[in-house]
Amino acid sequence: MAQVGGNILTLIISTVFFILIIFTVGRLLAQIARADFYNPIAQSMVKITNPMLLPLRKIIPGFGGIDNAAIFLAAILQLAMVCLILLVNGSSIVAPVNLLILSLFAVLGTVMTIVKWGIIIVAIASFISPGGYNPVLGFIAQITDPFVAPIRKLMPSAGGLDFSPMVLILLIIILQDMLLSPIAVQMDFRAQYFLGL
């Protein structure tokens, strides 16, 4: 019975922190991409993350157009989620340095995951409803475009077909599987608790 209660609590913690981390990283990507912040999705992200993010910005300044406070917030949320899950499951907390490093890697992994699935969603939607506009799809396209654009410039056009999204997805999968996952597993066997790893 205690195990069932622990599993339910773990699920609740994971879900709440998953939403907060996704919204924080999504807002960071929207700022980098200079996405339309009047979009309803962007407005929701701003409302949810502002109470946590605005106080941090007074302490952690941005640099080069990057919102360092958002990166720090995402890492802290990741760290808090893992610590709570470990406590709920009766596991010992691993070395703090390892937790912090894994949290930062997990933020990078979350960025990659959002970009990867964002590209897939936009691609599927373009086949199902070409030319149609949806605010959610429009926002996703805006935050993924800065990652696709450099590859698009390097790749020659293939008869009107754009293979740059597929190339980027392949690169992300390779980076996640060959770089992030092994690092996480090597540092701690409880790496599955980290979003994006």
- Between 182 and 152, residue with greater pLDDT: 152
Both tokens of 192, joined, read 């599955």
Q: What pLDDT was estimated at residue 117?
A: 93
- In this prediction, residues 108-129 reach a mean pLDDT of 87
Measuring CA to CA, how many Å separate 106 from each of 13, 129, 164? 17, 34, 25
pLDDT digits (tens, 9 = 90+) for 21-49: 999 999 999 988 888 888 888 888 999 99
pLDDT at 63: 78
Task: Return the pLDDT at 3.
Answer: 58
Sequence-ordered list of residues with C-beta below 8 angstroms from that of 58, at least 6 positions apart, any chain: none
**Which pLDDT band, with edges at 50, 70 and 90, does 102 fall under?**
confident
In angstroms, the CA 42 to CA 54 distance is: 16
Q: Which long-range contacts (CB under 8 A, 24 or more apart) does 84-91 make?
A: 84/13, 84/17, 85/10, 85/13, 85/14, 85/193, 86/190, 86/193, 88/6, 88/9, 88/10, 88/13, 89/6, 89/10, 90/6, 91/190
